Amino acid sequence: MGSLQKPSEKEEEYFARQAIERMKKEAAERQAKMAEEEKKKLKELHYMHCPKCGHPLAELGYKGIKIDRCMHCQGVWLDGGELEQITQREGLLGGFTKLFR
């Protein structure tokens, strides 16, 4: 029967490094998954809710542009680029006065 030899120091170092790298990779994957879950949870809590009072927003069409309006506090919220679209069509003051009526 052959005798078992103790692994060399280099072998032990190699396997220890492999184990550490595997643990680091698993930790990074867990962290990324947790961050994605947190992002999803925050979106579910806040998406289409008024930033002022927290009530649900209603999407209303205004000259082909969908604006978000809170029926509770009457706040009007625009997505990126929507203000520019409104002001290009009607000028700054004309667009604002019609939008808030």
Written as one string, the DSSP assignment of 20-82 is HHHHHHHHHHHHHHHHHHHHHHHHHHHTTB-TTT-PBEEEEEETTEEEEEETTT--EE--TTH
Domain that holds residue 70: 57-99
- Does a structural domain hold residue 67? yes
Q: What is the pLDDT of residues 44-92, one digit of tens each?
A: 888 889 988 989 999 998 888 899 999 999 999 888 888 888 878 776 6
Q: What is the pLDDT of residues 11-42, one digit of tens each?
A: 889 999 999 999 999 999 999 999 999 988 98
The total domain count for the chain is 2
Is-above-0.85 flag for pTM?
Answer: no
Looking at the structure, tell me whether residues 43 and 61 fall in a common domain: no
